[in-house]
Structure 1
Protein backbone atom coordinates (compact mmCIF):
# COMPACT_ATOMS: atom_id res chain seq x y z
CA UNK A 1 0.00 0.00 0.00
CA UNK A 2 1.39 3.38 -0.94
CA UNK A 3 0.50 7.04 -0.69
CA UNK A 4 1.74 9.51 -3.33
CA UNK A 5 4.85 11.46 -2.40
CA UNK A 6 4.51 14.82 -0.72
CA UNK A 7 4.42 18.00 -2.79
CA UNK A 8 7.65 20.00 -3.19
CA UNK A 9 8.47 21.87 0.02
CA UNK A 10 9.84 24.86 -1.90
CA UNK A 11 6.37 25.78 -3.17
CA UNK A 12 5.14 28.55 -0.82
CA UNK A 13 1.54 27.49 -1.31
CA UNK A 14 2.30 24.02 -0.01
CA UNK A 15 3.67 25.41 3.24
CA UNK A 16 0.44 27.28 3.94
CA UNK A 17 -1.23 26.00 7.09
CA UNK A 18 -4.30 23.82 6.45
CA UNK A 19 -7.60 24.69 8.08
CA UNK A 20 -10.16 22.30 9.55
CA UNK A 21 -12.32 22.98 6.48
CA UNK A 22 -9.43 21.93 4.19
CA UNK A 23 -8.97 18.67 6.09
CA UNK A 24 -12.73 17.99 6.02
CA UNK A 25 -12.86 18.58 2.25
CA UNK A 26 -10.06 16.08 1.67
CA UNK A 27 -11.70 13.53 3.97
CA UNK A 28 -15.00 13.90 2.08
CA UNK A 29 -13.18 13.39 -1.24
CA UNK A 30 -11.46 10.27 0.10
CA UNK A 31 -14.77 8.83 1.29
CA UNK A 32 -16.25 9.42 -2.16
CA UNK A 33 -13.24 7.77 -3.83
CA UNK A 34 -13.61 4.78 -1.50
CA UNK A 35 -17.32 4.51 -2.32
CA UNK A 36 -16.42 4.46 -6.04
CA UNK A 37 -13.95 1.62 -5.46
CA UNK A 38 -10.85 3.71 -6.23
CA UNK A 39 -9.35 3.04 -2.79
CA UNK A 40 -9.41 -0.13 -0.73
CA UNK A 41 -10.21 -0.13 2.98
CA UNK A 42 -6.59 0.12 4.14
CA UNK A 43 -5.73 2.93 1.73
CA UNK A 44 -8.88 4.82 2.70
CA UNK A 45 -8.21 4.50 6.44
CA UNK A 46 -4.53 5.46 6.10
CA UNK A 47 -5.28 8.53 4.00
CA UNK A 48 -8.11 9.66 6.29
CA UNK A 49 -5.74 9.43 9.24
CA UNK A 50 -3.05 11.41 7.40
CA UNK A 51 -5.61 14.01 6.30
CA UNK A 52 -6.72 14.79 9.83
CA UNK A 53 -3.10 14.95 11.02
CA UNK A 54 -1.94 17.20 8.17
CA UNK A 55 -0.58 20.60 9.12
CA UNK A 56 -0.12 22.14 5.66
CA UNK A 57 -1.75 22.08 2.22
CA UNK A 58 1.40 20.38 0.94
CA UNK A 59 0.62 17.39 3.16
CA UNK A 60 -2.99 17.23 1.98
CA UNK A 61 -2.48 17.51 -1.79
CA UNK A 62 -0.67 14.14 -2.28
CA UNK A 63 -3.57 12.28 -0.67
CA UNK A 64 -5.71 13.15 -3.70
CA UNK A 65 -3.07 13.44 -6.44
CA UNK A 66 -3.70 9.98 -7.94
CA UNK A 67 -7.48 10.45 -7.98
CA UNK A 68 -9.61 12.08 -10.72
CA UNK A 69 -9.30 15.86 -10.98
CA UNK A 70 -12.75 16.49 -9.49
CA UNK A 71 -11.46 15.12 -6.16
CA UNK A 72 -8.56 17.57 -5.99
CA UNK A 73 -8.24 20.63 -3.81
CA UNK A 74 -6.45 23.74 -4.97
CA UNK A 75 -3.32 24.97 -3.22
CA UNK A 76 -3.87 28.48 -4.55
CA UNK A 77 -4.00 31.37 -2.06
CA UNK A 78 -7.38 32.25 -0.61
CA UNK A 79 -9.40 34.72 -2.71
CA UNK A 80 -9.69 38.30 -1.57
CA UNK A 81 -13.41 37.82 -0.95
CA UNK A 82 -12.54 35.81 2.12
CA UNK A 83 -13.79 32.49 0.74
CA UNK A 84 -12.21 29.15 1.67
CA UNK A 85 -8.98 27.95 0.13
CA UNK A 86 -9.54 25.76 -2.91
CA UNK A 87 -12.79 24.33 -4.12
CA UNK A 88 -14.90 21.72 -2.45
CA UNK A 89 -15.00 18.46 -4.40
CA UNK A 90 -18.27 18.10 -6.24
CA UNK A 91 -20.58 15.33 -5.09
CA UNK A 92 -22.95 13.46 -7.39
CA UNK A 93 -26.48 14.94 -7.15
CA UNK A 94 -27.95 11.67 -5.93
CA UNK A 95 -25.62 11.77 -2.93
CA UNK A 96 -26.21 15.41 -2.03
CA UNK A 97 -27.81 16.39 1.31
CA UNK A 98 -31.55 16.05 1.11
CA UNK A 99 -31.43 13.02 -1.21
CA UNK A 100 -34.84 11.56 -1.93
CA UNK A 101 -36.08 8.09 -2.80
CA UNK A 102 -39.72 8.11 -3.87
CA UNK A 103 -42.03 5.31 -4.99
CA UNK A 104 -45.60 6.12 -6.04
CA UNK A 105 -47.43 3.00 -7.19
CA UNK A 106 -43.94 1.64 -7.84
CA UNK A 107 -40.87 0.03 -6.27
CA UNK A 108 -37.58 1.84 -5.65
CA UNK A 109 -34.29 0.63 -4.18
CA UNK A 110 -31.16 2.43 -3.04
CA UNK A 111 -28.32 0.04 -2.32
CA UNK A 112 -24.86 -1.18 -3.16
CA UNK A 113 -21.85 1.03 -2.52
CA UNK A 114 -23.14 4.58 -2.08
CA UNK A 115 -22.54 7.65 0.06
CA UNK A 116 -25.22 8.21 2.68
CA UNK A 117 -25.73 11.96 3.24
CA UNK A 118 -26.59 13.44 6.63
CA UNK A 119 -30.28 13.21 5.73
CA UNK A 120 -32.19 11.03 3.29
CA UNK A 121 -35.92 11.22 2.63
CA UNK A 122 -37.82 8.12 1.57
CA UNK A 123 -41.48 8.19 0.55
CA UNK A 124 -43.62 5.20 -0.40
CA UNK A 125 -47.17 5.99 -1.54
CA UNK A 126 -48.96 2.82 -2.57
CA UNK A 127 -45.48 1.52 -3.33
CA UNK A 128 -42.33 0.16 -1.68
CA UNK A 129 -38.88 1.56 -0.96
CA UNK A 130 -35.79 -0.37 0.15
CA UNK A 131 -32.80 1.49 1.56
CA UNK A 132 -29.82 -0.84 1.91
CA UNK A 133 -26.99 0.45 4.11
CA UNK A 134 -25.00 -2.78 4.28
CA UNK A 135 -22.34 -1.66 1.75
CA UNK A 136 -22.89 2.07 2.08
CA UNK A 137 -20.46 4.68 3.38
CA UNK A 138 -21.90 7.05 5.98
CA UNK A 139 -20.71 10.63 5.55
CA UNK A 140 -20.97 11.18 9.29
CA UNK A 141 -21.41 9.07 12.43
CA UNK A 142 -25.13 9.89 12.80
CA UNK A 143 -27.42 10.02 9.78
CA UNK A 144 -31.15 10.64 9.55
CA UNK A 145 -33.64 8.81 7.34
CA UNK A 146 -37.07 10.40 7.07
CA UNK A 147 -39.31 7.49 6.11
CA UNK A 148 -42.89 8.32 5.14
CA UNK A 149 -45.00 5.29 4.21
CA UNK A 150 -48.55 6.08 3.09
CA UNK A 151 -50.39 2.89 2.12
CA UNK A 152 -46.93 1.62 1.27
CA UNK A 153 -43.83 0.07 2.84
CA UNK A 154 -40.27 1.17 3.54
CA UNK A 155 -37.59 -1.31 4.56
CA UNK A 156 -34.20 -0.20 5.86
CA UNK A 157 -31.41 -2.80 5.82
CA UNK A 158 -28.57 -2.13 8.24
CA UNK A 159 -25.13 -3.76 8.73
CA UNK A 160 -23.58 -5.11 11.92
CA UNK A 161 -22.51 -2.58 14.55
CA UNK A 162 -25.12 0.08 13.76
CA UNK A 163 -27.39 1.61 16.39
CA UNK A 164 -30.92 2.28 15.13
CA UNK A 165 -33.08 4.89 16.85
CA UNK A 166 -36.71 5.27 15.78
CA UNK A 167 -38.21 8.70 16.39
CA UNK A 168 -41.13 8.34 13.97
CA UNK A 169 -44.85 7.74 14.44
CA UNK A 170 -47.40 5.25 13.18
CA UNK A 171 -51.03 6.11 12.40
CA UNK A 172 -53.03 3.02 11.54
CA UNK A 173 -49.69 1.63 10.45
CA UNK A 174 -46.67 -0.17 11.90
CA UNK A 175 -43.02 0.45 12.70
CA UNK A 176 -41.03 -2.69 13.45
CA UNK A 177 -37.51 -3.86 14.11
CA UNK A 178 -36.11 -0.61 15.50
CA UNK A 179 -36.24 -1.54 19.17
CA UNK A 180 -32.73 -2.99 19.21
CA UNK A 181 -29.33 -2.39 17.65
CA UNK A 182 -27.70 -4.30 14.83
CA UNK A 183 -24.61 -5.23 16.79
CA UNK A 184 -24.42 -8.84 15.61
CA UNK A 185 -20.81 -9.92 16.10
CA UNK A 186 -19.59 -6.30 16.30
CA UNK A 187 -19.73 -4.67 19.76
CA UNK A 188 -21.53 -1.35 20.02
CA UNK A 189 -19.48 1.51 21.46
CA UNK A 190 -19.91 5.24 21.98
CA UNK A 191 -18.41 5.73 18.50
CA UNK A 192 -20.73 3.30 16.72
CA UNK A 193 -22.66 4.74 13.76
CA UNK A 194 -26.25 5.76 14.48
CA UNK A 195 -29.20 5.70 12.08
CA UNK A 196 -32.11 7.85 13.23
CA UNK A 197 -35.45 7.05 11.59
CA UNK A 198 -38.16 9.69 11.51
CA UNK A 199 -41.35 10.22 9.55
CA UNK A 200 -44.78 8.61 9.66
CA UNK A 201 -46.32 5.27 8.74
CA UNK A 202 -49.89 6.11 7.68
CA UNK A 203 -51.73 2.93 6.82
CA UNK A 204 -48.27 1.72 5.90
CA UNK A 205 -45.18 0.01 7.32
CA UNK A 206 -41.65 1.12 8.17
CA UNK A 207 -39.36 -1.77 9.10
CA UNK A 208 -35.71 -2.36 9.88
CA UNK A 209 -33.98 -5.54 8.74
CA UNK A 210 -30.90 -6.66 10.59
CA UNK A 211 -28.17 -9.03 9.38
CA UNK A 212 -28.28 -12.61 10.56
CA UNK A 213 -26.43 -13.23 13.80
CA UNK A 214 -23.80 -15.96 13.67
CA UNK A 215 -23.71 -18.83 16.13
CA UNK A 216 -20.99 -16.98 18.05
CA UNK A 217 -23.22 -13.92 18.27
CA UNK A 218 -26.10 -16.03 19.57
CA UNK A 219 -23.79 -17.66 22.14
CA UNK A 220 -22.81 -14.20 23.37
CA UNK A 221 -26.44 -13.17 23.56
CA UNK A 222 -26.40 -10.70 20.68
Structure 2
Protein backbone atom coordinates (compact mmCIF):
# COMPACT_ATOMS: atom_id res chain seq x y z
CA UNK A 1 0.00 0.00 0.00
CA UNK A 2 1.34 3.44 -0.93
CA UNK A 3 2.19 5.94 1.80
CA UNK A 4 1.59 8.89 -0.53
CA UNK A 5 -1.55 10.97 0.13
CA UNK A 6 -4.25 11.14 -2.53
CA UNK A 7 -4.17 14.30 -4.64
CA UNK A 8 -7.54 16.12 -4.45
CA UNK A 9 -9.33 16.89 -7.72
CA UNK A 10 -9.28 20.68 -8.35
CA UNK A 11 -12.85 20.39 -9.66
CA UNK A 12 -13.98 19.54 -6.13
CA UNK A 13 -12.78 22.90 -4.85
CA UNK A 14 -15.43 25.40 -3.74
CA UNK A 15 -16.19 28.38 -5.95
CA UNK A 16 -16.51 32.00 -4.83
CA UNK A 17 -19.08 34.63 -5.77
CA UNK A 18 -16.54 36.12 -8.17
CA UNK A 19 -16.20 32.74 -9.90
CA UNK A 20 -19.98 32.54 -10.37
CA UNK A 21 -20.18 36.11 -11.67
CA UNK A 22 -17.40 35.44 -14.18
CA UNK A 23 -19.32 32.50 -15.65
CA UNK A 24 -22.54 34.52 -15.66
CA UNK A 25 -20.87 37.29 -17.68
CA UNK A 26 -19.63 34.78 -20.25
CA UNK A 27 -23.12 33.34 -20.60
CA UNK A 28 -24.62 36.81 -21.07
CA UNK A 29 -22.03 37.55 -23.76
CA UNK A 30 -22.77 34.24 -25.46
CA UNK A 31 -26.47 35.08 -25.60
CA UNK A 32 -25.64 38.47 -27.11
CA UNK A 33 -23.56 36.68 -29.77
CA UNK A 34 -26.52 34.43 -30.58
CA UNK A 35 -24.96 31.28 -29.16
CA UNK A 36 -27.63 30.89 -26.47
CA UNK A 37 -31.33 31.63 -26.37
CA UNK A 38 -32.93 33.63 -23.58
CA UNK A 39 -34.43 30.48 -22.10
CA UNK A 40 -31.07 28.67 -22.22
CA UNK A 41 -29.43 31.63 -20.53
CA UNK A 42 -31.97 31.63 -17.70
CA UNK A 43 -31.62 27.89 -17.18
CA UNK A 44 -27.84 28.08 -17.02
CA UNK A 45 -27.83 31.11 -14.76
CA UNK A 46 -29.98 29.21 -12.25
CA UNK A 47 -27.33 26.49 -12.23
CA UNK A 48 -24.50 29.03 -12.00
CA UNK A 49 -25.81 30.62 -8.82
CA UNK A 50 -26.56 27.20 -7.33
CA UNK A 51 -23.05 25.91 -8.11
CA UNK A 52 -20.84 24.95 -5.19
CA UNK A 53 -17.72 23.63 -6.93
CA UNK A 54 -15.75 24.21 -10.13
CA UNK A 55 -17.04 20.86 -11.29
CA UNK A 56 -20.59 22.29 -11.16
CA UNK A 57 -19.62 25.29 -13.30
CA UNK A 58 -17.60 23.53 -15.98
CA UNK A 59 -20.48 21.87 -17.89
CA UNK A 60 -22.30 25.19 -18.24
CA UNK A 61 -19.77 26.51 -20.77
CA UNK A 62 -18.57 23.21 -22.23
CA UNK A 63 -20.39 23.73 -25.57
CA UNK A 64 -19.06 27.26 -26.00
CA UNK A 65 -15.86 28.19 -27.93
CA UNK A 66 -12.61 27.36 -26.18
CA UNK A 67 -11.81 31.02 -25.51
CA UNK A 68 -15.11 31.50 -23.71
CA UNK A 69 -14.56 28.35 -21.65
CA UNK A 70 -11.11 29.49 -20.54
CA UNK A 71 -12.47 32.91 -19.60
CA UNK A 72 -15.38 31.40 -17.67
CA UNK A 73 -13.91 28.61 -15.58
CA UNK A 74 -10.26 28.83 -14.63
CA UNK A 75 -9.96 25.70 -12.52
CA UNK A 76 -7.22 26.34 -9.94
CA UNK A 77 -4.30 23.96 -10.00
CA UNK A 78 -3.09 22.96 -6.55
CA UNK A 79 0.44 23.95 -5.67
CA UNK A 80 2.87 21.09 -5.42
CA UNK A 81 2.68 19.87 -1.87
CA UNK A 82 5.79 18.84 0.00
CA UNK A 83 3.74 16.26 1.88
CA UNK A 84 5.01 13.64 -0.61
CA UNK A 85 8.09 13.58 1.64
CA UNK A 86 6.13 12.18 4.59
CA UNK A 87 5.75 8.44 5.00
CA UNK A 88 7.77 5.26 5.41
CA UNK A 89 9.80 3.68 8.18
CA UNK A 90 12.68 5.76 9.50
CA UNK A 91 16.17 4.23 9.69
CA UNK A 92 18.75 4.83 11.08
CA UNK A 93 18.16 6.93 14.20
CA UNK A 94 21.74 8.06 14.97
CA UNK A 95 24.90 9.44 13.41
CA UNK A 96 27.94 9.27 15.68
CA UNK A 97 31.50 10.30 14.91
CA UNK A 98 34.31 9.93 17.49
CA UNK A 99 37.63 11.15 16.14
CA UNK A 100 36.26 10.27 12.71
CA UNK A 101 33.63 11.31 10.21
CA UNK A 102 30.23 10.02 9.17
CA UNK A 103 27.29 11.17 7.12
CA UNK A 104 23.62 10.54 6.42
CA UNK A 105 22.64 11.66 2.93
CA UNK A 106 21.04 10.65 -0.33
CA UNK A 107 17.66 8.94 -0.36
CA UNK A 108 16.82 7.87 3.18
CA UNK A 109 13.98 8.08 5.70
CA UNK A 110 14.53 9.92 8.95
CA UNK A 111 12.65 8.78 12.10
CA UNK A 112 10.71 11.20 14.37
CA UNK A 113 13.76 11.57 16.66
CA UNK A 114 17.30 11.55 15.31
CA UNK A 115 20.46 11.97 17.40
CA UNK A 116 23.79 13.14 16.08
CA UNK A 117 27.01 13.22 18.13
CA UNK A 118 30.40 14.51 17.00
CA UNK A 119 33.34 14.19 19.42
CA UNK A 120 36.55 15.46 17.87
CA UNK A 121 35.04 14.40 14.58
CA UNK A 122 32.57 15.50 11.92
CA UNK A 123 29.01 14.60 10.96
CA UNK A 124 27.08 15.63 7.86
CA UNK A 125 23.29 15.25 7.77
CA UNK A 126 21.74 16.01 4.39
CA UNK A 127 17.93 16.09 4.19
CA UNK A 128 17.80 17.24 0.56
CA UNK A 129 16.48 13.91 -0.75
CA UNK A 130 15.21 12.54 2.55
CA UNK A 131 11.72 11.38 3.47
CA UNK A 132 10.24 11.77 6.94
CA UNK A 133 8.46 9.09 8.94
CA UNK A 134 6.29 11.72 10.65
CA UNK A 135 5.24 15.27 9.81
CA UNK A 136 7.34 16.53 12.74
CA UNK A 137 10.95 15.51 13.30
CA UNK A 138 13.41 16.42 16.05
CA UNK A 139 17.15 16.31 15.41
CA UNK A 140 19.30 16.40 18.56
CA UNK A 141 22.80 17.58 17.68
CA UNK A 142 25.69 17.43 20.15
CA UNK A 143 29.18 18.56 19.12
CA UNK A 144 32.20 18.37 21.48
CA UNK A 145 35.37 19.69 19.85
CA UNK A 146 33.80 18.56 16.59
CA UNK A 147 31.40 19.74 13.93
CA UNK A 148 27.93 18.86 12.66
CA UNK A 149 26.61 20.24 9.36
CA UNK A 150 22.88 19.86 8.70
CA UNK A 151 21.61 20.62 5.19
CA UNK A 152 17.88 21.21 4.76
CA UNK A 153 15.95 21.63 1.47
CA UNK A 154 13.79 24.62 0.67
CA UNK A 155 10.47 22.77 0.91
CA UNK A 156 10.57 21.97 4.63
CA UNK A 157 10.05 24.18 7.67
CA UNK A 158 12.96 24.40 10.13
CA UNK A 159 13.09 25.56 13.75
CA UNK A 160 16.54 25.79 15.35
CA UNK A 161 16.93 26.09 19.11
CA UNK A 162 20.42 24.96 20.07
CA UNK A 163 23.05 26.34 22.46
CA UNK A 164 26.68 27.12 21.86
CA UNK A 165 29.20 27.06 24.76
CA UNK A 166 32.67 28.12 23.71
CA UNK A 167 31.38 27.07 20.32
CA UNK A 168 28.66 27.97 17.83
CA UNK A 169 25.16 26.70 17.09
CA UNK A 170 24.36 28.57 13.89
CA UNK A 171 21.13 28.76 11.94
CA UNK A 172 21.82 29.93 8.38
CA UNK A 173 18.49 28.60 7.10
CA UNK A 174 16.30 31.18 8.83
CA UNK A 175 14.06 33.50 6.81
CA UNK A 176 14.89 31.70 3.58
CA UNK A 177 11.68 29.69 3.26
CA UNK A 178 8.16 30.37 4.49
CA UNK A 179 6.25 27.56 6.24
CA UNK A 180 3.99 25.69 3.85
CA UNK A 181 0.81 23.78 4.69
CA UNK A 182 1.62 20.09 4.80
CA UNK A 183 5.38 20.64 4.81
CA UNK A 184 7.51 18.52 7.14
CA UNK A 185 8.60 20.38 10.28
CA UNK A 186 12.15 19.76 11.48
CA UNK A 187 13.15 20.97 14.95
CA UNK A 188 16.88 21.08 15.56
CA UNK A 189 18.17 21.35 19.10
CA UNK A 190 21.26 20.42 21.08
CA UNK A 191 24.62 21.74 22.28
CA UNK A 192 27.89 22.77 20.68
CA UNK A 193 30.78 22.81 23.18
CA UNK A 194 34.12 23.93 21.80
CA UNK A 195 32.70 22.83 18.48
CA UNK A 196 30.08 23.83 15.98
CA UNK A 197 26.65 22.90 14.68
CA UNK A 198 25.59 24.64 11.47
CA UNK A 199 22.19 24.47 9.76
CA UNK A 200 21.95 25.70 6.17
CA UNK A 201 19.76 25.47 3.10
CA UNK A 202 20.60 23.36 0.08
CA UNK A 203 18.70 23.34 -3.17
CA UNK A 204 17.54 19.93 -4.46
CA UNK A 205 19.68 18.48 -7.26
CA UNK A 206 18.55 19.36 -10.78
CA UNK A 207 17.29 16.54 -12.95
CA UNK A 208 19.63 15.98 -15.85
CA UNK A 209 18.16 15.87 -19.32
CA UNK A 210 19.49 12.68 -20.81
CA UNK A 211 18.49 13.80 -24.29
CA UNK A 212 20.43 17.06 -24.07
CA UNK A 213 23.29 17.24 -26.54
CA UNK A 214 26.67 18.01 -25.07
CA UNK A 215 28.43 20.69 -27.00
CA UNK A 216 32.01 19.92 -27.78
**TM-score if structure 2 supplies the norm length?**
0.52
Q: Displacement of 1:179 after TM fit?
A: 6.0
1:62 is aligned to: none
**Aligned-residue offset at 1:192:** 2.3
Contiguous gaps of at least 5 residues in structure 2: 8-87, 205-216
The CA distance in 1 between the partners of 2:191 and 2:138, in whole Å, is 14
State how 1:172-187 maps to structure 2 within 5 Å.
Answer: 172-178=166-172, 180-183=174-177
Partner of 1:208: 199
How far 1:198 sits from its partner (Å)?
Answer: 1.2
| Contact 1:163/1:182 (<8 A) preserved | no
2:130 match: 136
Q: Deviations over 1:125-174 (max 9, x none)?
A: 00000000000001112100000000000000111122211122111110
CA contact (8 A) 1:128 1:153 kept: yes
Instruction: Check if 1:114 corresponds to 2:117.
Output: no
1:199 match: secondary structure: strand
- RMSD over aligned CA atoms reads 2.5
Counterpart of 1:216 in structure 2 is none
1:198 equivalent to 2:189? Answer yes
Give structure 1 stretches of 5+ with no counterpart: 1-25, 32-44, 51-89, 214-222
* Greater C-alpha radius of gyration: 2
- Stretches of 4+ moved more than 2 A in 1? 187-192
